[in-house]
Structure formats: C-alpha cells, structure tokens
Amino acid sequence: MKISIKNIIICSVLLILCNQKMSAQQDSQYTNYMYNTINVNPAYAGSRGVMSIFGLHRTQWVGLDGAPVTNTLSVNTPINNSNFGLGVSFVNDRIGPSDENAISVDLSYTIQTSETYKLSFGIKGTANLLNVDYTKLDRYDLTDPQFQNNIDNEFSPNIGAGIYFHSDKLYAGLSVPNFLETEHFDDNISVSAKERMHYYFIGGYVFDLSPSVKFKPAFLSKMTLGAPLQTDLTANFMFNEKFVIGAAWRWDAALSGLVGFQVSEGWFIGYGYDAETTKLANYNSGSHEIFLRYEFKGKSEKVVSPRFF
C-alpha cells in the first residue's frame, strides 16, 4: 500500500495534538539560536548595549505537507541610565492544522560582576493564542466527535525566567521560558495536548585566531520531560568582522551550514540550511532559515567586536 507524504505528516500531527495526555511539540527550534537568544532567555534583553531589531523565517522539512513554519520578530534594548533591559517578541508557529501565536515581554536586570563580566537576570511574560483547524486533516470518519469543533484563539498565559553571564567574548545562560504546563482541550474535553517545561542551557566563546579571523564555538541544550535531549553544537568563523561562515550539528537530527554578512554598521543578514540525518530525510529536502538584524547606534556607540551573540 502506498503511503502519501501528506498522510505521514497527518499521522505525526495526530500523535502530537490528539493523543490523550500526550505532550505537545517542543518549543520552536532555531539553527541560528546564537542570534535569537531573546526568545529562550529573557535575561538577554538589552545585553548588546543598543536597540536591536531581529526578524527570522524558518521553513522546516521542505516538501512535507503540514511541516513546521516559524516566523519571529523581536525588539530589545537597554533602558538608558539604568541596569534594566526591555524586550518584546512575537512568534508564529504553524504545523499541520495548528497555528499558534505568542507575544512576550522581557525585563532584565544586569549586575557588573567585574571589569569584564556581567550577570543578568530576566523574567518573561507571554500570551499564547492557539488555533486548530481540524478540517485541514484527512478525516476518515467525519462523525468522530474529537474532530468536530475547531480550537479558535484559545488564550493561555505563561511566565518564564533566566540568567545570562556574559562579556565581549563569552556568554553562558540558563533559562526556562515557560513555567506553566498548559493543557489545550477541544470543546468535547476528550482530547488534550500538554505543553511541557523546557530547560535551556547555552554558551559560547570567541577566540582571536588572527587580527582578521575570529572563531566561536557555541552550544544550546534543550531538556524537556518526556522528550529526548536536544543539543546543538556550532562552530562559526568571522573574517574581517564582516563575513561569517560555519557549521552545526543537531544531535541525532541534522547537519547544518551557516553564513552571515555584516552589510553595514547596522544591518546583519544570515542564512542557515539543515540537512536531516534521520529517516525523515527520505521525505523532505531540508530546512531553510533566514534572518535579518538591525541595530540603532548613536555617534558615541561602538560595535562590540566581535558579537556573534
């Protein structure tokens, strides 16, 4: 019997969304996580010393019907003449019949622990809106009560926190973006998808290989109860403080290539491509991720070089 690609993703979505008391999909994943730290750690807000606007588009598992698509937009800035930082972010996640929007506000407070290092503490408040359109599924039994009523803008709040230790060359952070484990129910209260807490541990260091070449290894580990440990290992090289090229490995999941370019003092653009290393590679042509960052710098503000994060 021939199994269509669409039926494969439908089966996956059903397992994620519709099994009794089953955990929901993990938080959005990013290959360029070192530039998108604000989404997983609120203590990052304002750490770059200038207002930073960041936008990212990720298309996962291209060619697979209903595969995840993520769009994110964030703004974060230090608050003048204080140790506080402020951030606002928006994330839209689409997978199969589900469409979820999250709006977050981050507040950080930074302590100068030495001449070189700073320690930041952050809190995050998030509003989630979930939509599930069951008509997008191939329903073989149209009378099944579990799929009669769509979920429309179901609201759920959440809170999170994080710490972020950093200098011009080093960073390390620990965070839980969402403490509340929300259960989503349909109108018949017969089906639920539960969002689990995610624990993030991140780190990286910049080595000066020569006056024109910098090297930065970095990692991100994500731990979730009931799901495998996810670890991303990345190595980036920066040439003449303009061009970045690197590679990444997502443990037992994907190999990635990354490039970036400092177009001007304010503009930075980057791209990442993931090639699956699992059997899922037989059903898709990889994942694409592109991002754009703009930073407002006054005449007296210098770009901290290098900043891969």
Alpha-carbon distance 175 to 97, whole Å?
A: 29
pLDDT at position 240 is: 93
Smallest CA-to-CA distance from 75 within 39, 27, 113 is with 39
Mean pLDDT of the chain: 85
pLDDT at position 184 is: 56
- Cα 22 off chain centre by: 22
pLDDT at position 148 is: 62
Judged against a pLDDT cut of 60, whether residue 167 lies above it is answered with yes
Domain of residue 253: give its range.
31-295
CATH value at residue 134: 2.40.160.40
Read off the pTM.
0.84
* 113 in a structural domain: yes
* 7 in a structural domain: no
pLDDT at position 138 is: 65
* 26 in a structural domain: no
Structural domain tally of the chain?
A: 1
pLDDT at position 6 is: 47
* 39 in a structural domain: yes
pLDDT at position 34 is: 92
pLDDT at position 141 is: 59
- List, for residues 2-58, the tens digit of each pLDDT value: 334 444 444 454 444 444 333 444 678 899 999 999 999 999 999 999 999 999 999
* 98 in a structural domain: yes
- List, for residues 109-155, the tens digit of each pLDDT value: 999 999 999 999 999 999 999 998 877 676 565 565 566 677 888 89
Cβ atoms of residues 107 and 131 within 8 Å: no
Cβ atoms of residues 98 and 17 within 8 Å: yes
Q: 244: which residues sit within 8 A by CB, 6+ positions away?
A: 236, 237, 238, 258, 259, 260, 261, 270, 308
pLDDT at position 306 is: 47
- List, for residues 238-288, the tens digit of each pLDDT value: 999 999 999 999 998 999 999 999 999 899 999 999 999 998 888 899 999
**Strands (DSSP E) found in 17-66:** 22-23, 51-59
* 3 in a structural domain: no
Cβ atoms of residues 18 and 251 within 8 Å: no
